[in-house]
Structure 1
Amino acid sequence: KKINAKLPSGQKPYRLPTEAEWEYAARGGGKAVLFGNGKNIIDPKEINFNGSADYKKSYSVAGEYRQKTVPVGSLNSPNALGLHDMSGNVWEWCSDWYGAYPAGSQTNPTGPASGSYRVFRGGSWYVYPRYCRVAYRFGGTPDYRYSSVGFRLARTK
C-alpha cells in the first residue's frame, strides 16, 4: 500500500501474484521444469536451500547449507523470463487463499474466496529440495513472519 500510494496517478498498482501467475513465472513462461532455475535438478551452487542432505539423487545434489538468505541473483542466472531465485532463498507469498485445487484443467485459476491460510511458493534457504519444486505449495496465516518468508511483487499491464 505504501509503494502504491507513491505511484503517479493512473499507474497500475503493485500486488502479490496469484498462485497461477507465480507458478507460470517460476517455470519461465510455463515450461515443464521442476525448479525455478529452469532445470530438473537442484544444486546448492545455484539455489539457496538446505543442501545438507540428498532428497532424491535423481534431481538433488547435496552440498552447502547457508542457513540464511543470500542477495537476489547471486547464485544463478535468470530464468527465461529474467527472474532470479524462483526456487529457494525465501518462500514467496501469493495473494490466493490456500485450498484444494479445483477439479480439471483451468486457465489462470484463482484460489478460494476466503480462508485461514495464504499460499507460499518456492521454498527457502531453510527447507529440503522437495519443497523448492515449482509445483510445491504451502500455507500460512496472513500474519506469519519468519526469516525464510518474503514476497515478490507483480503488476498488471
Structure 2
Amino acid sequence: MDTQLLSFEFEVVTVNKTGDIIKRDRQTTLYYVEELTPEISLEMIAIPGETFLMGTCQNEAGFLGSQIPRHWVTVKPFWITKYPITQAQWQVVSTFPQVNLSLNPYPSNFLGENRPVEQISWHEAKEFCARLSQFSQRCYYLPSEAQWEYACRGTLSSPFHFGETITTDLANYSGVNWEYNGKLCSQGFYGNGPLGEDRRETTTVGFFQVANHFGLYDLHGNVREWCEDVWHPNYVGAPTNAIPWITGGDETKRIVRGGSWNGSPHKCRSAYRGKFDPNASLYDIGFRVVYY
C-alpha cells in the first residue's frame, strides 16, 4: 500500500462480571485515511492476521444453535472502518457515479451527520462499496461474517470485548426489561451485569469513547451491521479462511451482526448472528466496509 499510514491512541476498558470497570489501557494502532472530500473521510483501521476460534460454547448466556460448532478460522490482515458508516459519509458517496442502483442521500430515521446511517438495505450497502471502490481505485467490500466477528472480538473470547458483561455506559442497546402480559420477553441485563438506559435512538459514532483492542468503536449495539454472507443455520461446513460464505444456505437472507439500540444485550454479543431480507431496510441496520 502506497497510502500514508498514521497511528492513533485509544482507550480500552475491561469490566468485571457485574459491569464495573476494573482496568483501563491506552493502546495504539495504524490506520489510513480514505479522503472523500477535504472535510469528510473514512478512517481504515489495520486488523492483523491471526487464527481465532469463531462461535461460542453452549454455556455462554444467550447461546443459540446457530453459533456452533466452534471452529478455527485463519484471517488474513485487512482494514476496516473505525466506525459504522456515518450519514455524512453516506451522503458524499451517494453523489458518486451510479454503478448499479440509485441511492437516497438521506435515508436515515435518526438524523445527524455523525450518527450511523441506517434504513439501508444490503443491496444499497453493496452499491456504496461499488461507488467507493470506483472513486478510490481500491476494492471495498462488506466484511465477511468471520472478518466481522474477529474484528469485534479484538483477540478476546469473552462474550463482549469489554469482558463478561456489558453496560449502557459503554454501549447503546436496550438496557431495560420488556414484559408482555406479565411475561418477561427481553432482559436488559446480561449475566450479573446491571440494567441501564433505553435510549430508543442511535448515538453518534464513538459516543462512549472506548474502543476494542483493535481500535474499533460501536461494535456492540447502536446499529446492526450487514455482512457479505448468506444465512446458514449453523457453522457446519463453514469456510476456515474467513472468505464470505455465499454458497448454499438461504440466499433470501443476509447476515447482520452486532446488535443495536433496539435490542437486548444478548444480541450484542460478539458471537450473536442475525439474518435479514437483503432487499429490506430498518432503522437499526447500518454497515461498515473493509479493504483487503
If the length of structure 1 is used for normalisation, what is the TM-score? 0.87
- Name the counterpart of 2:120: none
Q: Once the 2 structures are TM-superposed, how far is the Cα of residue 141 of structure 1 from its aligned partner?
A: 1.1
Q: Once the 2 structures are TM-superposed, how far is the Cα of residue 105 of structure 1 from its aligned partner?
A: 9.1
- Matched letter for residue 139 of structure 1: K
Q: Once the 2 structures are TM-superposed, how far is the Cα of residue 59 of structure 1 from its aligned partner?
A: 4.3
Q: Aligned pair 1:32/2:157, yes or no?
A: yes
Q: Aligned pair 1:22/2:22, yes or no?
A: no
Q: Once the 2 structures are TM-superposed, how far is the Cα of residue 104 of structure 1 from its aligned partner?
A: 8.4
User: Between Structure 1 and Structure 2, which shows a larger proportion of strand residues?
Assistant: 2
- Name the counterpart of 1:152: 288
CA distance in 1, matches of 2:243, 2:133: 25
Q: Aligned pair 1:79/2:79, yes or no?
A: no
Q: Which runs of 5+ in 2 are unaligned?
A: 1-129, 178-186
Q: Once the 2 structures are TM-superposed, how far is the Cα of residue 103 of structure 1 from its aligned partner?
A: 5.0
- Matched letter for residue 152 of structure 1: R
Point out the more displaced range, 47-56 or 72-81.
47-56
CA distance in 1, matches of 2:290, 2:268: 20
If the length of structure 2 is used for normalisation, what is the TM-score? 0.48
Residue pair 1:27, 1:38 contacting (<8 A) in 2 also = no
Please show how residues 65-104 of structure 1 align to structure 2 within 5 Å: 65-99=198-232, 100-102=234-236
SS state at 1:117 partner: strand
What is the number of residues matched between the two proteins? Answer: 151
CA distance in 1, matches of 2:202, 2:172: 7
CA distance in 2, matches of 1:91, 1:131: 10
SS state at 1:4 partner: helix
Given candidates 176, 198, 204, the residue that maps to 1:52 is 176
Residue pair 1:91, 1:124 contacting (<8 A) in 2 also = yes
Q: Aligned pair 1:5/2:141, yes or no?
A: no
Residue pair 1:60, 1:129 contacting (<8 A) in 2 also = no
Structure with the greater alpha carbon radius of gyration? 2
Q: Residues 57 and 15 of structure 1: is their aligned pair in 2 closer, same or farther, counting only changes over 3 Å?
A: closer
Residue pair 2:226, 2:255 contacting (<8 A) in 1 also = yes
CA distance in 2, matches of 1:59, 1:107: 35
Residue pair 2:228, 2:244 contacting (<8 A) in 1 also = no
Superposition CA RMSD, Å: 2.0
* CA displacement 1:85-114 (0-9 Å, x = unmatched): 111000000000010312589343642425
Residue pair 2:174, 2:188 contacting (<8 A) in 1 also = no
Matched-pair identity in %: 32
- Matched letter for residue 202 of structure 2: T
Which structure is richer in relative contact order (CA contacts within 8 A, separation 6 or more)? 1
- Matched letter for residue 21 of structure 1: Q
CA distance in 2, matches of 1:113, 1:104: 10
